[in-house]
Structure 1
């Protein structure tokens, strides 16, 4: 073979690895050649060596296992980055006494009027706080009278101090905001627990206290990019996007510091952050479109979360509570309004991520999509997030209507959310949760997402990947499995984190596979996932992350 000319050689050659390409035409390879940040060739080490010239950077993978860069289909970059960069960390499994001690220690380093902001507060602790009339007083004492804002593991609810309630401008005589609850003690006093849209009030009060919001947002987004790259994530769908984080992303991109592809989701109605919404927000985000920032979805929230009985169910919850939530939960949209929203997505040529956590809200989405697809035919991509409770009659409708199942296996384990759900939701529904095997067998696109910073303090994909396969808590001390008949095999689970998530987010022609013409996004792991026991997948470490042919993360142990 003749020596290639400089114009024929590649810029980068990664060779000598065991590479899972996620390309069905060639699932395994030994080497990847890259030119201009794009994959030029994938194949055997000997064959691709011919593409290396004097200016080619050759990386010996030394037999290590390689995957395509991961795609997180449901994440909250600004919230997660802010938690990582600025806020008080809490383990979701922390008991109430541990939470109060953490608040006390964190407050000790703050000025007298500074806010204590942090998470993750476990749903089981939030339930305990609701039932304890002394909890608010103890939180006030721990914080030294400072305003406190603690976010729960669903990110839909908050526990706040008396000073925070005062900053919100609410008291015992204040009515509940639309779509939310100011939770009260039996005698009518506020206990500091906020459900759903009540949380927006405290978020706005805290935001007003930040002296330089733009700097905080930029620092949060910088931290978020660094964190997700460290876990091998190179593309994401931000699940609820407002202008300030997008402006920060564009700043990072213009400075050459954005090593992440971001698909945005514009809320169509007010949610938990103060922002413009709907068409005004869609237009604003579209002005920021770039190679790496893609404003291609809206976010539609149909209900709440099961831990506070605000998920919309077809059957009643197992118990009823003092703050008068309906026994079937709450559906925030009428069928007519929902159909109009689906129609509007067709008009805007934009996809939609529907937050629908109950079987009633899932059915409402499918009914609306079916009504519009029947008239207008194929159209935008629609996601159901999080497809946890699905009535058996509705399972085949996902495939028939080409609706994506947005799954968040991170929510199952190792946090306390499953325990909190089981305390509220009928046992037969819990036993049938997350029917992912049925989805895959029906040909439904399953896209996995961390929902970071919900559930866990990091967007660790390896815990999620393991639970997709095992349906068990990675901690062997926790017995039992969650609907084990719906477990995925490893290739299908990897697809949910790569090619499936890429297809769902509109990135299938760019990412999710290692194939010629796609972006050179790949990760090098410390273990071969096809060789280790499934119960060890959660221990995986990302040794290197490559984005568009650039090394953007390297573990300290790797030279």
Structure 2
């Protein structure tokens, strides 16, 4: 999460743009050459050079032709054979959740002495990225081990206790409050001081302070003692969210990502609602992106998926289908479907409830809102997992398509996740020209047990990416950043690693045996499309990004290996060398030899 952005370089590249405005129209600001450029444009799939003017691709072709576009102000980047492609577009993220995690220590999987040591390592990592004075939180250490002990019939489970002095040494300037699996808490001395808890403090009613044999505080807080300290924590302000957002987007840039489709909310509207449950807990506050943009600090293009719940009131706030600009754009709505509704329950429990999600608005209402919002010009994406639930959703999309007002505009509706489907419904999804946002991690979570859980017939159409593509479903590869809400499972955000899983049907750590139904794998070319032109199409932006085509935005990634011709295993060792957003470098590898050349553009934000 290190800040790799140079203010000086930003001024330099800004000056380049200003100089370009007064220069001849046929001169380039930047020429990239001696490269293997994969354009994702079928009309000209590969070129060896490209020229950029302003924030757009000016021209592509041979080294000779592109260098003919230079003048005394043109920057040159000789890539010496490195691989260039459009930068990555992650089509399904929960950005604010990732921002929140930036200030938290992942603890749920920790137990025992090894877990205690790992807690210290992770705490040190979080401290390195969190400014002084901001609270560091985390939970629930020992939880997974406690669950395993409970299933085994053990009633005597205990987990480790953090060492107060060791934690204080790592976090002298940050208050820390960590939660244990049983809702006991641990606070460092900075947090205890802010709460005015000392050796002399009496235990509160309904709780107690942990003490050692000498009566000194250990940092442990039991019962209402822990609850009281938690209530003292300041609310996370929008300004703190912006601090975290800058770090998260820099990390995405480091992975070659310059565009996301984020599950977002308009907070002004959300605050007017009365909800039965915390239905918007994974929707990012749109104001985070808007504030970054206003400060010229936004280095991601954001396609905002707003809640379907209040789609008909968005126009009052100036939000309309295909509105916005190149940095923040609108046009899609998000709803939640099922928690794994299956025609036949799984043979092995994989944690699915076989029910509608608790955020589901009701079948009749969801069907009607899909039709109405489609007539209003919006696209809809629905979280859907089980084969029976997916069948119902296809019925609702068909109902929308049957409405003349909706059919005239050719909507780009999405199946989000789409784990299990029948063969007939995969064909139907293709006839409806649907888009599927698929997450390879979701397959890998239970890959060794999935065949037994589904049975051989249903397994053939589980995570059936090849069949989807063959039937005409346009597939996006997405991360679902940052992972499960309880932090038990972290998303694989690196697009190269997700592409590896898509083309091999194997996990990146090599832990599984044979590939899960390898006949359902994508080709590497399809995987690249699923991270570039496909999500651009899904957001109605294929005319401005998703391929290296003259006139489109100069959003590029330079990779250390040619991922098209190399063995899939090379995807796991390929590194991002440069990431360009609108012709400006937003990430540059510190190890890249070309960065030492005097004529190489420096990172800018």
Partner of 1:201: none
1:215 to 208, 224, 239: 239
In 2, are the aligned partners of 1:116 and 1:143 still within 8 Å (CA)? no
8 Å CA contact retained: 2:433, 2:473: yes
1:257-296 alpha-carbon deviations (Å, 9 max, x no partner): 2111001112335xxxxxxx65557855839944311132
C-alpha deviation, 1:417, in angstroms: 4.5
Select between 530-539 and 465-474 the one with higher mean Cα deviation: 530-539
Matches within 5 A, 1:209-288: 209-241=233-265, 243=267, 245-268=285-308, 279=312, 286=319
Contact kept, 8 Å, 1:39 with 1:518, in 2: the verdict is yes
Distance 1:375 1:136 in 2: 61
The corresponding residue for 1:171 is none
Match of 1:71 among 71, 86, 89: 89
Match of 2:519 in 1: 485
How far does residue 125 in structure 1 lie from its aligned partner after superposition? 6.3
Contact 1:502/1:511, CA 8 A, preserved across alignment: yes
Is the alpha carbon distance of 1:149 and 1:352 closer, same or farther for their aligned partners in structure 2, counting shifts above 3 Å? farther
1: distance between equivalents of 2:259 and 2:510? 32
Q: Given the alignment, which residue of 46, 52, 60 partners 1:34?
A: 52
CA distance in 2, matches of 1:131, 1:116: 28
Separation (CA, whole Å) in 2 of partners of 1:38 and 1:118: 45
SS at match of 2:32: strand
Q: 2:37 aligns with which of 16, 19, 35?
A: 19
Q: C-alpha displacement at 1:432, in angstroms?
A: 3.4
Structure-1 separation of matches of 2:587 and 2:362: 46
Q: Which of structures 1 and 2 has the bigger CA Rg?
A: 2
Match of 1:316 among 339, 345, 363: 345
Deviations 1:16-45 (A, max 9, x none): 100000000000001111111111111111
Question: Within the alignment, does 1:60 sit opposite 2:78 as a pair?
Answer: yes
How big is the shift at 1:505?
2.2
The aligned counterpart of 2:576 is 542
Pair 1:52–1:106, CA change in 2 (3 A): closer
Structure 2 CA distance, aligned partners of 1:411 and 1:121?
A: 24
Partner of 1:193: none
> Does the CA-based 8 Å contact 1:38-1:519 persist in structure 2?
yes
Q: Which secondary structure does the structure 1 equivalent of 2:367 belong to?
A: helix
Closer, same or farther in 2 for the Cα pair 1:511/1:320, shift >3 Å? Answer: closer
Q: Is contact 1:75–1:236 with CA below 8 Å preserved after alignment?
A: yes
Alpha-carbon distance, 1:407 to partner: 0.9
2:507 to 452, 473, 481: 473
In 2, the alpha carbon distance for the partners of 1:466 and 1:259 equals 26
Contact 1:88 1:119 in 2 (8 A): no
Partner residue in 1 for 2:397:
369
Q: Distance in 1 between matches of 2:557 and 2:51?
A: 14
Q: Which residue of the other structure, out of 101, 105, 114, is the alignment partner of 1:88?
A: 105
With structure 2 as the length reference, what TM-score do the two structures score? 0.71
Counterpart CA distance in 1 for 2:115 and 2:236 is: 28
State the Cα distance separating 1:425 from its structure 2 match.
Answer: 5.2
In the alignment, structure 1 residue 299 sits paired with structure 2 residue 328? no
TM-score, with normalisation over the residues of structure 1?
0.77
Q: For residues 29 and 278 of structure 1, do their structure 2 counterparts lie closer, same or farther at Cα, with a shift above 3 Å needed?
A: same
Match among 393, 396, 406 for residue 424 of structure 2: 393
Distance 1:10 1:207, change over 3 A: farther
Answer yes or no: is the 8 Å Cα contact 2:30–2:52 preserved in 1.
yes
Q: 1:404 aligns with which of 431, 435, 439?
A: 435
1:342-377 CA deviation, whole Å, 9 max, x = no partner? 112224311111100111221121110101211232
1:362 counterpart SS class: helix
Residue in 2 aligned with 1:384?
415
Comparing 355-364 with 240-249, greater Cα deviation is found at 240-249
State the match for 1:330 in structure 2: 356
**Structure 2: how far apart are the matches of 1:210 and 1:134?**
38
User: Equivalents in 2 of 1:282, 1:423: separation in Å?
Assistant: 49
1:322-350 residue CA offsets vs partner (Å, 9 max, x unmatched): x9x86x33363544222201112224311
C-alpha root-mean-square deviation of aligned residues, in Å? Answer: 3.7
SS at match of 2:299: coil
Structure-2 separation of matches of 1:344 and 1:380: 12
Q: Could you tell me how far 1:521 is from its partner in structure 2?
A: 0.5
Q: Which residue of 2 aligns with 1:131?
A: 151
Instruction: Provide the C-alpha distance between the structure 2 equivalents of 1:457 and 1:235, rounded to a whole number of angstroms.
Output: 17
Runs of 5+ unmatched residues, structure 1: 151-158, 165-204, 270-276, 305-310
Distance 1:279 1:149 in 2: 41
How many residues align? The count is: 484
Task: Tell me: CA distance 1:284–1:106, structure 2 relative to 1, closer, same or farther (3 Å).
Answer: farther
Instruction: Note the C-alpha offset of 1:471.
Output: 0.9
**Structure 1 pair 214/420, CA: closer, same or farther in 2 (3 Å)?**
farther
Q: How does 1:409-448 map to 2 (within 5 A)?
A: 409-413=440-444, 416-418=445-447, 428-448=457-477
Contact 2:503–2:523 (Cα < 8 Å) also in 1: yes
